[in-house]
Amino acid sequence: MSRLEGKVAVVSGGNSGIGLAIARRFAKEGAHVFIFGRRQEALDEAVKLIGANVTAIRADASRLEDLDRVAGAVRSTKGKVDVVVSNAALVEQVPLPEITEDHYDRTFGLNAKAPLFLVQKMLPMMGRGGSIILVASAMHYMGLANHSTYAAAKAALRSYSRTWAAEFKDSGIRANTLSPGVVDTPMLDSQATTPAEAAAIREGYAKYTPMLRLAQPEELANAALFLASDESSFMTGSDMVVDGGVSNV
């Protein structure tokens, strides 16, 4: 039997990168997956790639009214949530002297505020055996220049999972973080202005990683599947680090 047969999963940022890989894997394992993101074109393409057992909703994870709309769609069609994956994220490399209030609010809004309220909105539909997966980053273990807000926001996710492990102890709901290293996704392209610059960024990160390569999104999807399934039934408040060793050297 498929490992997520009959389960309902919600994946923010499920229209590209890690989120899309997770949604595809979950659907393949029998779950009905709700994905949401801001770009309709990317959502349409994601639905084609996933193929079946998927509902796409155009929504901004950092807007509470959009999260209410996503929760309403899930409630009206399925009535329950078994797995929540908070994956939508934003990276902007900014040196400390150049950080603006707008940059700070934008980064924390999507990377720290959105996951908390996503889980809050889905929690009434979750029951025993439910799994919350917060996609963080190995960067919260590291000190990497120009990532003050991003690393701090991802560290907040690690704190959420610890807090919620204690808070949900009587509910049978588990909360864990998944911390990737550098993954070969379109997010890397957003940090460059030209294809050549994007290639150089990928090469630099690969050399910095002990395994001398970037992760593929499917490798993170494998880890997320474990956290979503009953195979990880004795894990909560944990951080699964899938980073090619980069946070350990």
Which residues, including other chains, have CB under 8 Å from residue 11's CB and lie 6 or more apart? 19, 22, 23, 26, 33, 34, 35, 36, 85, 87
Q: What is the pLDDT of residue 188?
A: 86
Contact 220, 18 (CB under 8 A): yes
What is the pLDDT tens value at each position of the chain, 249 positions in all? Answer: 699 999 999 999 999 999 999 999 999 999 999 999 999 999 999 999 999 999 999 999 999 999 999 999 999 999 999 999 999 999 999 999 999 999 999 999 999 999 999 999 999 999 999 999 999 999 999 999 999 999 999 999 999 999 999 999 999 999 999 999 999 998 888 888 898 998 998 999 899 999 999 999 999 999 999 999 999 999 999 999 999 999 998
**CATH superfamily for domain 8-180+217-241:** NAD(P)-binding Rossmann-like Domain (3.40.50.720)
- Tell me which amino acid residue 82 is: D
Q: Where are the domains of the chain?
A: 8-180+217-241, 185-214
Contact 39, 60 (CB under 8 A): no
Contact 150, 137 (CB under 8 A): yes
Selected catalytic residue, list 150, 160, 205, 208 = 150
Question: pTM for the complete prediction?
Answer: 0.96
Task: Encode the chain in three state secondary structure.
Answer: CCCCCCCEEEEECCCCHHHHHHHHHHHHCCCEEEEEECCHHHHHHHHHHHCCCEEEEECCCCCHHHHHHHHHHHHHHCCCCCEEEECCCCCCCCCHHHCCHHHHHHHHHHHHHHHHHHHHHHHHHCCCCCEEEEECCHHHHCCCCCCHHHHHHHHHHHHHHHHHHHHCCCCCCEEEEEEECCECCHHHHCCCCCHHHHHHHHHHHHHHCCCCCCECHHHHHHHHHHHHCHHHCCCCCCEEEECCCHHHC
* Sheet containing 83-86, strands listed edge to edge, beginning at the edge strand earlier in sequence: 54-58, 32-37, 8-12, 83-86, 131-135, 174-180, 239-242
User: In degrees rounded to 5, what are phi and psi of residue 239?
Assistant: -125, 115
Q: What is the pLDDT of residue 249?
A: 85
Q: What is the pLDDT of residue 193?
A: 83
Contact 10, 74 (CB under 8 A): yes
Q: What is the pLDDT of residue 1?
A: 60
Told to judge if 205 belongs to the known catalytic residues of this protein, a careful annotator would answer: no
